[in-house]
Chains A and B, each alone.
Chain A
Amino acid sequence: MTINLPGVPLTVADVESKPPPAEERMPRRGRRLSRRRLYLRRFLRNRGAVAGLVILVLLILFALLGSLLTPYTYTDVDFTSLTMPPSPEHVLGTNGTGNDTYAQAVHGLRRSLVIALAVSLLTTVISAFVGAAAAYFGGTAEKLILGIVHFLLVVPAFLILALVSQEAGGDWKVLIVVLTAFGWMLNARVVWSLSTSLREREYVQAARFMGVGSVRIVLRHLIPNIGSLLIVTFTIGVVAIVTLETALSFIGFGVQLPDVSLGTMLSDGANTISSAPWLFYFPAALLTLLTVSMALIGDGLRDALDPTSRSGGRA
């Protein structure tokens, strides 16, 4: 029972429906923005998100280029200085076996970043495909996939992660596989619940009647329409994985010596917190900056991509 008042213009609340190309090409009176510009402008308006992005870029640059600024590598052992506080020779001091803390921190940050980005990317891709496919195919396939998802959600994941990664002996590639294997279920369920409404939409029906293959429909019509959700899931997933990986490494089940991640560095620092606190300060600062910046970016992206966003003012 809607009343069309003459003065009220129709609002394009539906970001999912793509604007026709003709409108995209010619901006009406310079006021209509393309979708990308709109997102960018909304994101830039969020000061916290921009700060997060700057911090993250700096961190990535540091992880990539930081090793150029020091003569040591993370495995180098300097027997003349064991557990030394910061000095001109070792900018951030050394640990009990004579490793340079700065070189280790660069390597640990790189390791943690690689693991988090890879796992988050993989889980997002898997959950998107599995969730959308379950919703699209329906019937027995849907029941089966949801059954598996629910079962895996009940299984004590943290315990199995610890069991398997301990068995792997701290290899970071195995850790990526294991974290992915137990990380995709919850997202898949969210994607599924969103896709169930999408599969009834006209363009999906139309594609089906035109004889487009089912895999193609899932990839071309379902997944792009939950893209904004997936981007946000990816950023928030990075935070979760960094936390999980460092927690596992901290208690000794994740990345293990001789390899170094931020978690193992923290556990190093924890053992000598009163005698050698410099082993703790730097990795702790890096880790906090990493998680907080990713969380800020995730918040900003969610506000920018959300079609019902109330992030204010002229969009």
Chain B
Amino acid sequence: MIVVATNLTYFLANSFLDPRANYLQLRPPRSPEQISRSLAQYNLSPDAPLLDRWWHWITGIVLHWDWGSSPVGESVNSQIAFRMGISAQLLLLSLILSTVIGVGLGVYTASRQYRFADRFHQGLSIAALNIHPAVAGLAVVLLAIALNQTLGTTLLFVAGAQSPTVSGFWPLVVDRIQHLVLPTLSLTVISYAGYHLLQRSLLLDNINSDYVRMARAKGLTRQEAIRRHGLRTSLIPVATSIAFAVPALFTGAVITETIFAWEGMGRYLVTTISKNDIHGVVAVAAFGALMTAIGAILADIAVVALDPRVRVTSS
């Protein structure tokens, strides 16, 4: 399926994007032949038949793992390798944070159903769930600017992944963290609420079931019975949804990366499209499909790990 989706994107990108446009604004102006010639070295010349180009492209990937290059000659491979690390920093941290906060709040509110804390957090989560990523990101930026102004120093940076002038190990770590806090915060705000509401409703379904009552009868405290018996069963669907959220976070991060000027994968998608970089677009699409596949595998692993009824038999 990944292969089919990637190839389809290749043809679609070829029909919608025209790399010649990148050369039209150059001074001195170039003739169409010159443009075609310089594009031909990157296997992007519109004069060559599409199938020839496709064959060249696909053999490059299969034989040399070479995903081609952009219309100005940058290698897609090196771009992706660089940006993957940046995206991973951002996404992994916020994924972990939103999972912990979401599940924790779900357990907390489910054991206090319909009390004030439950109502309050539910209202907050419904609002947070429906806040637009751009609004959340910009609101965080505004708060950070206000904070920096009251402190008089730049405590939290609102743009970029790191400062270019910092060197040394510990200063670099501190600098990274200063840049990481805000985008992580804004991504967490928009993603924790879904887990909270899901966890709450699932746990409420389980909390009155026989085995939780049985655990209470055995002498466990209410908290412990919920945590050890109720939570485990209700975590399964939540884990599945978290695993599938990995690719969704990836597109959600487009906005966040744009606001905070992080040159990650989401930003790469936007720049490749606006710069008519066919090979870059296709590589991003393949990356997204791969992430979906990985998410599906992770979901299966999570179910096996959590659900004692599912056994992996080694025959």
Q: Which residues from chain A sit less than 8 Å from chain B, CB to CB?
A: 48, 151, 154-156, 158-160, 162-164, 166-167, 239, 243, 246-247, 250-253, 263, 266-267, 269-270, 273-274, 277, 280, 284, 287-288, 291-292, 294-296, 299
- Residues from chain A with a CB closer than 8 A to the CB of B142 are 273, 277, 280
Determine whether the beta carbon of B281 is less than 8 Å from that of A273: no
| Chain A minimum-CB-distance residue to B8 | A155
**Residue B79 CB within 8 A of the other chain:** no
Determine whether the beta carbon of A163 is less than 8 Å from that of B12: yes
**Residue B138 CB within 8 A of the other chain:** yes
Contact with A along B234-265 (1 / 0, CB 8 A): 00000000000000000100110011000000
A229 to B133, alpha carbons, bound, how many Å? 27
Determine whether the beta carbon of B13 is less than 8 Å from that of A292: no
Determine whether the beta carbon of B288 is less than 8 Å from that of A291: no
A159 to B139, alpha carbons, bound, how many Å? 27
Q: Which residues from chain B sit less than 8 Å from chain A, CB to CB?
A: 1, 4-5, 8-9, 12-13, 16-17, 123, 126-127, 129-135, 138-139, 141-142, 145, 251, 254-255, 258-259, 269-270, 273-274, 281, 284-285, 288-289
In the complex, 28 of the A-B residue pairs with CB atoms within 8 angstroms, ordered by the A residue number, are A155-B9, A156-B285, A158-B251, A159-B281, A159-B284, A159-B285, A159-B288, A160-B9, A162-B270, A162-B273, A163-B13, A163-B17, A164-B16, A167-B16, A246-B132, A251-B254, A251-B258, A252-B270, A253-B270, A253-B273, A273-B145, A280-B138, A280-B142, A288-B130, A291-B130, A292-B126, A292-B130, A292-B131
Determine whether the beta carbon of B135 is less than 8 Å from that of A266: yes
A269 to B137, alpha carbons, bound, how many Å? 12
A202 to B134, alpha carbons, bound, how many Å? 50
A246 to B9, alpha carbons, bound, how many Å? 24
Main SS class of interface, B: helix
A183 to B139, alpha carbons, bound, how many Å? 29
Task: Report the minimum CB–CB distance from B256 to chain A (whole Å).
Answer: 11
A154 to B247, alpha carbons, bound, how many Å? 12
Determine whether the beta carbon of B16 is less than 8 Å from that of A243: no
Asked whether A163 and B288 contact (CB < 8 A) given A250-B134, A287-B135, the answer is: no
A291 to B288, alpha carbons, bound, how many Å? 27
| Chain B minimum-CB-distance residue to A291 | B130
Which among A151, A250, A269 has the highest number of chain B CB atoms within 10 Å?
Answer: A250
A205 to B5, alpha carbons, bound, how many Å? 40
A273 to B258, alpha carbons, bound, how many Å? 14
- Residues from chain B with a CB closer than 8 A to the CB of A251 are 254-255, 258, 270
Task: Report the minimum CB–CB distance from B297 to chain A (whole Å).
Answer: 16
A166 to B270, alpha carbons, bound, how many Å? 11
Extra pairs beyond A159-B9, A162-B269 (8, CB < 8 Å): A158-B251, A162-B273, A250-B255, A253-B270, A266-B132, A280-B142, A292-B130, A292-B131
Determine whether the beta carbon of A156 is less than 8 Å from that of B126: no
- Residues from chain B with a CB closer than 8 A to the CB of A266 are 132, 134-135, 138
Of all A-B residue pairs in the complex, the 9 with the closest CB atoms, nearest first, are: A291-B130, A284-B135, A156-B285, A295-B130, A163-B16, A292-B130, A158-B251, A266-B134, A250-B134
Determine whether the beta carbon of B127 is less than 8 Å from that of A292: yes
- Residues from chain A with a CB closer than 8 A to the CB of B134 are 246-247, 250, 263, 266-267, 270, 284
| Chain A minimum-CB-distance residue to B248 | A158
Determine whether the beta carbon of B288 is less than 8 Å from that of A156: yes
